[in-house]
Structure 1
Amino acid sequence: MHIQATMPLPAGFRPQDFLLFHGRDKQEVSERITPDALQKAIVLKGYPALLGLKFSQDKVHYTLDVDNAQVNVTLDEVHALIRHILGFNQAIEIFEQAYAGHPFIGRMVTTQSGLRVPVSVSPYEAVTWAILAQQISLSAATALRRKFIQLVDLRHSSGLYCYPSAELVSGLLPERLREAGISHTKATALIQVSQQVVSGDLPLNAWLQTETPSQEIAHALSGIKGIGPWTINYTLLRGYGWLDGSLHGDAAVRRAIRGLMVLDELSEKEAARWLQTYQPWRALLAAHLWAWQHALAQQL
């Protein structure tokens, strides 16, 4: 099955943020990135699929190829998915207008005007990535994610590995995930999340469709051993586009705050207090801090 269409981009849209997010793994086992395009292998309605996005100055051309001609996916469904993962529904204009003249973050926000938070293709991908990334560096987390994807070993006809679905992971034993270098705690959390998704006890996609309050999602996720505040807030950000999670537990966020405020030290509690003053935009501010820090590193 093949679908293709084009949609306009919001004024000032920054494709580089989206491509950078999806291009973390330079070995490109599940995603292929060019300066203006993404190809990403996913599981869609139980079958391997390839999602493609190609950006031009004011529009994005998208395609979907599913390795089963009988799968029923409508153009409206794909259109809604593209709008969601590109962050079209994020009210960034309100944030930018409120903080353009701010003494601490104003210059950063103005310089990075148009920044939206790239969202994962599914909330399940967001929460499993967050579990894998707990308390390790980005490079280590990316390598662990790659091994996780290759371990499950589902490929699209293009050759790219699909990011695993809950159905594929739910039947695995922790020992199998340990073969990919995943700790026992993380392996257990991954399997428990997957099993609860399959059983319906953790309706990640349904929450996306019904715009369930973040507090309800956070409460459900907090009941799973191995999932704490950082994992929850990162899942809400990357899975649902929620822009007010406090990512004070993120080492890169704290490092960026220290650089921005010219501080020698900054504890998690101090970072939480600093971010608190920017409600309801704490997670969007974290995304600005990540982008600002990345831009500075590119200049070195």
Structure 2
Amino acid sequence: MHTDTERCVRAVQSKDARFDGWFFTAVLTTGIYCRPSCPVVPPKPENMRFYPSAAAAQLAGFRACKRCRPDTSPGSPEWNVRADLTARAMRLIADGVVDRDGVPGLAGQLGYSTRQIERQLNAELGAGPLALARAQRAQTARILIETSDLPMSDVAFAAGFSSIRTFNDTVQEVFALAPSELRRRAATRKQPAAAPGVISLRLPFRKPLTPDNLFGHLVATAVPGVEEWRDGSYRRTLALPYGHGTAALTPHPDHIECRLALTDQRDLAIAITRCRRMLDLDADPEAIDEQLSTDPQMAELVAKAPGRRVPRTVDGEEFAVRAVLGQQVSTAAARTHAARLVKAHGTPVEDPFGGGLTHLFPDVHELAALDPEALAMPKSRRTTLTTLIAALADGELDLGGGSDWTKAREQLAALPGIGPWTIEVIAMRGLGDPDAFTATDLGVRKAAEALGLPSSPAALTRHAEAWQPWRAYAVQYLWATDDHPINLMPTE
């Protein structure tokens, strides 16, 4: 979008928050870059330059605006919508792959050469993977500086910097303030109250957002010991690259309150990314709802509760296991099966918030040792589960952030007992494909029939072509016609 100068200028002049994260505006006369909705008086069009990423603006020599804090914008919706190389790379960079494994590690996961990755990202985003990862480190550093009392040396290494000097130079260059000055300025603003060792921050999103089905689904399907609803917050444990953590997420009208307790602060950016992904906070609800509303039957559902999100997951492999456990059984039975796996194979943890979280969900390597005979389910489903776990543990099946959605679908379809419904549910909630469509789902078919839409899977799929590329969101609206707990905001 940043190449459409006229459209960008209009967005800046109208301070349109819908475009925050889509592009960044650099001002030649001040040397700063802003989000489109920056509250200051818009500069003259001839003094504006537009960049597709904060990293590109930083590489061009611009520093972040202290007023609108462009580094805290919602992420670009493109990386959740697209399945091409650039989008896959961006999802992996956000998940910390470059910081952990370097550009060769990123290229290895994507199956391309480092040169191809560099060329593609520079062509489309104006910055390579190192610069994009650097911009993320700077944002992580800012969060830690402003919301924790960690010594600056600890902040530097927790944010992923290799030295104190690099940390100081980067913060000064990006924010035009020394780290100590950032902390001093933050102390003058009212900060959310947080317990010792807990980082409290706000997760922004594009309005509107209807939280009912989002939190309702997560809580109704919550695995005991791993997830719970407590004191108005959805809470869950997180298995992270350097350690583990606990996240408490509370919906508010203009943000999601996020409280994180981590055993290793280096996991901060990754934990934030995974929470945002789980709540689908980088979606563009106006574009989604506008497209769905072109269908008269869907328009009525959208108008009642605009801005529905797709409840996703923090880990694609975990969700795939849970999807198989939930095949042809009730929500309560699926939770029971998952709870047994967690108790038998999950890693015990302490709940820093004093609640009922007791375990991490076991990873596939831990589950590879399970005894199929101990599973209280039909033999055919036991075979499906153990075959899936083996494929994930061996690396034959990739359901991570950088996975190829088409290839993953094909590989899932080749496994015994994995049919269209399971594939599309995993694509929707595990892979994050916004166009995944569960045409065979009974709830979707009943809702379609009640609306006067075709109810057979084949006919409904043909009708739903008009909803592309947002069919996963159409599913949320169709599911919401039922009074199932997954569609209801939890109550105390």
Query: 2 CA distance for matches of 1:170 and 1:72?
Result: 29
Q: Contact 2:250/2:258 (CA < 8 Å) preserved in 1?
A: yes
Q: How far is the alpha carbon of 1:186 from its aligned partner?
A: 2.4
Residues 185 and 72 of structure 1: is their aligned pair in 2 closer, same or farther, counting only changes over 3 Å? farther
Query: 2 CA distance for matches of 1:8 and 1:292?
Result: 28
| Counterpart secondary structure, 1:74 | helix
- Which residue does the alignment assign to 1:284? 473
Residues 35 and 244 of structure 1: is their aligned pair in 2 closer, same or farther, counting only changes over 3 Å? farther
Q: Which moved more, 1:1-10 or 1:131-140?
A: 1-10
Quick check: 1:192 aligned with 2:380? no
Q: Contact 1:101/1:107 (CA < 8 Å) preserved in 2?
A: no
Instruction: Say which of 359, 363, 378 aligns to 1:183.
Output: 378
Q: After superposition, what is the alpha-carbon deviation per residue over 1:80-105, rounded to whole angstroms, capped at 9, x for unaligned?
A: 11221111233332221123353211
Query: 2 CA distance for matches of 1:35 and 1:29?
Result: 16
- Which residue does the alignment assign to 1:91? 284
The letter of the residue matching 1:17 is N
Q: How far is the alpha carbon of 1:138 from its aligned partner?
A: 3.0
Instruction: Say which of 318, 341, 347 aligns to 1:148.
Output: 341
Instruction: Say which of 211, 215, 221 aligns to 2:406.
Output: 215
- Which residue does the alignment assign to 2:350? 157
- Which residue does the alignment assign to 1:60? 256
Alignment TM-score, normalising by the size of structure 1: 0.83
Residues 20 and 227 of structure 1: is their aligned pair in 2 closer, same or farther, counting only changes over 3 Å? same
Q: Contact 1:50/1:156 (CA < 8 Å) preserved in 2?
A: no
Instruction: Say which of 134, 137, 141 aligns to 2:330.
Output: 137
Alignment TM-score, normalising by the size of structure 2: 0.53
Q: After superposition, what is the alpha-carbon deviation per residue over 1:11-63, rounded to whole angstroms, capped at 9, x for unaligned?
A: 22223332211111588443221473111123334855322212333222223
Q: Which runs of 5+ in 2 are unaligned?
A: 1-196
The letter of the residue matching 1:138 is T
Q: Contact 2:240/2:267 (CA < 8 Å) preserved in 1?
A: no
Q: How far is the alpha carbon of 1:262 from its aligned partner?
A: 7.8
Q: Which runs of 5+ in 1 are unaligned?
A: none
- Which residue does the alignment assign to 1:202? 397
- Which residue does the alignment assign to 2:372? 174
| Counterpart secondary structure, 1:33 | strand
Q: How far is the alpha carbon of 1:250 from its aligned partner?
A: 0.9
- For CA contacts below 8 A with separation 6 or more, give which structure has more relative contact order: 1
- Which residue does the alignment assign to 2:274? 81
The letter of the residue matching 2:468 is Q
The letter of the residue matching 2:457 is E
The letter of the residue matching 2:250 is K
- Which residue does the alignment assign to 1:44? 240
Query: 1 CA distance for matches of 2:228 and 2:213?
Result: 15
Q: Matched residue pairs, number?
A: 286
| Counterpart secondary structure, 1:125 | helix
Q: How far is the alpha carbon of 1:284 from its aligned partner?
A: 1.5
| Counterpart secondary structure, 2:480 | helix
Q: Which moved more, 1:24-33 or 1:8-17?
A: 24-33
Q: After superposition, what is the alpha-carbon deviation per residue over 1:190-241, rounded to whole angstroms, capped at 9, x for unaligned?
A: 2222232222222322xx1x3x442111112222212121111110110122
| Counterpart secondary structure, 1:249 | coil
Residues 248 and 34 of structure 1: is their aligned pair in 2 closer, same or farther, counting only changes over 3 Å? same
Runs of 4+ in 1 over 6 A off after TM superposition: 295-298
| Counterpart secondary structure, 2:467 | coil
Q: Contact 2:317/2:399 (CA < 8 Å) preserved in 1?
A: yes
Q: Contact 1:237/1:243 (CA < 8 Å) preserved in 2?
A: yes
Instruction: Say which of 257, 275, 279 aligns to 2:464.
Output: 275
Query: 1 CA distance for matches of 2:437 and 2:360?
Result: 30
% identical equivalent positions: 23
Q: After superposition, what is the alpha-carbon deviation per residue over 1:104-126, rounded to whole angstroms, capped at 9, x for unaligned?
A: 11110121201010111111122
Query: 2 CA distance for matches of 1:7 and 1:154?
Result: 28
| Counterpart secondary structure, 2:228 | strand
Q: Contact 1:15/1:36 (CA < 8 Å) preserved in 2?
A: no
Query: 2 CA distance for matches of 1:45 and 1:198?
Result: 16
Quick check: 1:229 aligned with 2:420? yes
